[in-house]
A = this chain, B = another copy of it.
Amino acid sequence: MEDVKVALLGCGTVGTQVARLLDEQAADLTARAGAWLHLTGIAVRDIDAPRDPAIDRTLLTTDVSELIAGANIVVELIGGIEPARSYILEAFEHGASVVTGNKALLAAHGPELYEAAARADVDLYYEAAVAGAVPVVYGLRESLAGDRITAVLGIVNGTTNYILDEMTTKGLDFDGVLAEAQRLGFAEADPTADVDGFDAAAKCAILASLAFHSRVAMDQVHVEGIRSVTAEDISAATRAGYVIKLIASAKRRETGIEATVAPMLIPNSHPLASVHGPFNAVVIEAEAADRLMFYGRGAGGAPTASAVLSDAVAAASHIVEGGHAPRELIYADLPVLPIEESVSRYQVELAVDDTVGVLTEVSGIFARNGVSISAVGQEHERVLQGEDGLPGRAVCHLTVTTHAAPYAALQQTTAQLEESRYVAGIRRVMRVEEA
């Protein structure tokens, strides 16, 4: 039996599980790859740091370049842009295939890495970069190769999914849930990458590039996080038959690609509505297949290691028996649309004066901006207090749900609503996904 030399860069949560499973499941992996996946070394920063007992310490090294030079497959799990990018390019130059879980790098330098892999005639695999164990990269690159994808919608960040879940089930505010999640280790001390949507945006860029065979960079993704979602937003959504989820959305329109990350109202009947806690899921809409969903654990050492090892098996089998991973990332090269041209259904909740003529005024503003209304709901009235503490004006809550409308038209509509003398305030504006 041939052996394929595997170099592991990084020995954190995922790297440790990769090393353990390469050892424990050696017989199975060998049968499937047609070669022994032989772990020849693990590059770490500090050889003497404490490690899981599953790690064979004799494999540890700080000489990354020497390790890469002797490898057939380099598994990069150090994360970040540099030095990960340089190591991967080094691996390609030495004729090694690369398996990585590095979403930031893929989102920033995907095309460069694809080109380098093709030039070296080796594989680039990155299942673990999006949604942990969920095999959505396989889905988009290989199992949907015979179809035309129209949309990808994903819950791809576990921290925000957990926070929104907790807010929903316990009726708590964002700040309280975030603090508790940080205490429990479910959210980072600096939660920006998660709660402000940047982690999801990197994954959205990768998914959009794969789905539409076009260059979509992370900074072309319009990002709105979940900090502004209130307990009241969530209870209003629940009453109306929706859940609020942070959705990474990539859609093909006539003129290009729309890529956004934003909290959205998802109807309870939508398969994404029942994706809870640490689970991730990606819905793919394709012309022939219609709707597909891939669901599974979005993070964690062992689940992510499962994705890494499947990639390693595929790369090894190509080394031994020929063939290669899909190489054509970009052949369509559709433009990414500016956010102003993106189209969505919206729900706008207004506090308005409880007087005659309000509906005419409000619906007129929507109409003048070309935003078509699909439904209007009116909730219980209340009397606002004036600043002097005395009763102020009588208001009621108006919930306007629109048909699909351009972002720019919606922005103009809300600006004009703000100025209307009938409107006491805009309570919320949120995107709505179809059922």
Contact = CB atoms under 8 A, between A and B. Distances in A.
29 contacts: A17-B288, A25-B147, A28-B148, A29-B145, A31-B213, A127-B143, A134-B292, A135-B138, A139-B143, A142-B314, A143-B310, A144-B310, A145-B309, A145-B313, A146-B310, A146-B313, A147-B310, A274-B274, A286-B306, A289-B306, A290-B300, A291-B296, A292-B296, A293-B293, A293-B294, A294-B295, A317-B326, A318-B323, A322-B322
A223 B385 CA distance: 67
A408 to B, nearest CB: 31
A284 to B, nearest CB: 9
A59 to B, nearest CB: 19
A314 B138 CA distance: 12
Given A21-B288, A288-B21, A303-B289, A142 B323 contact: no
A328 interface: yes
Closest 9 interchain pairs by CB?
A323-B323, A146-B309, A135-B143, A322-B322, A146-B310, A288-B306, A289-B306, A292-B296, A293-B295
Contact of A293 (B145, B296, B309, B318): B296
Copies of chain A in the complex: 2
B322 A133 contact: no
Interface of A: 17, 21, 25, 28-29, 31-34, 127, 133-135, 138-139, 142-148, 213, 271, 274, 281, 286-297, 300, 302-303, 305-314, 317-318, 321-324, 326, 328, 331-332
Contact of A146 (B146, B289, B307, B326): B307
A257 to B, nearest CB: 15
A133 B310 contact: no
B303 A290 contact: yes
Contacts of A28: 148
B147 A306 contact: yes
Given A133-B292, A288-B302, A321-B323, 8 more contacts: A33-B145, A34-B328, A138-B138, A142-B314, A286-B306, A292-B294, A292-B296, A292-B297
